[in-house]
Copies of this chain bind each other. A is one copy, B any other.
Amino acid sequence: MNMFIPANPYDMNCPSRDLLDLIGDKWSILIVCCLQQGPVRTGALMRQVGGISQKMLTQTLRELETNGFVERISYPEVPPRVEYRLTELGISFSALARTMEQWVIAHYEQILLHRDQAQGA
C-alpha cells in the first residue's frame, strides 16, 4: 500500500512539513536533550526546561510519543511516577537536537553583536 512517495518539505502538502515543525520546535529540542542521559521524570523535566508550562510539557511529550521519539513509562505507584525515555528514533533525533543547541550556543555572541550593530545603524 505504501507508494514510497519521497518526502519533500518544499511541497506545502507533504506531511514532512509537520515533521520539520516538530523537530524545529523549541520545546521538543530542549526536552529531547534533557532525555539524552536516560529516562527522566515529568517533574524533573518541568524544572529543567525553564518557563515551560505544564500544559506545553505534556502536549509536547504527547507529540513526541505519537511520532515515536519517546516512550512513556508509568510505574504503578502512589503517588504516581512517570518517566520518559528516548526511543531509538529519539536518540537519533537527540543528536540533531544537541547539534542545534550547540550551534546556538557557539554563535550566540556573534549574533547578538550583529543585532546590536544592525540596531545602531
Q: Which residues does A use to contact B, with CB under 8 Å? A: 2, 4, 6-13, 15-17, 19-21, 23-26, 29-30, 48-51, 65-68, 89, 92-93, 96, 99-101, 103-105, 107-115, 118
Assembly stoichiometry (copies): 2
Contact of A109 among B2, B10, B110 (CB under 8 A): B2
* Contact flag A111-B12 (CB < 8 Å), given A99-B99, A104-B7, A118-B66: no
23 contacts between A and B (CB under 8 A): A2-B109, A6-B108, A7-B104, A9-B29, A9-B104, A10-B30, A11-B50, A16-B105, A17-B26, A19-B108, A19-B111, A20-B104, A23-B24, A23-B100, A23-B103, A24-B24, A24-B25, A24-B26, A65-B118, A89-B110, A89-B114, A96-B99, A96-B100
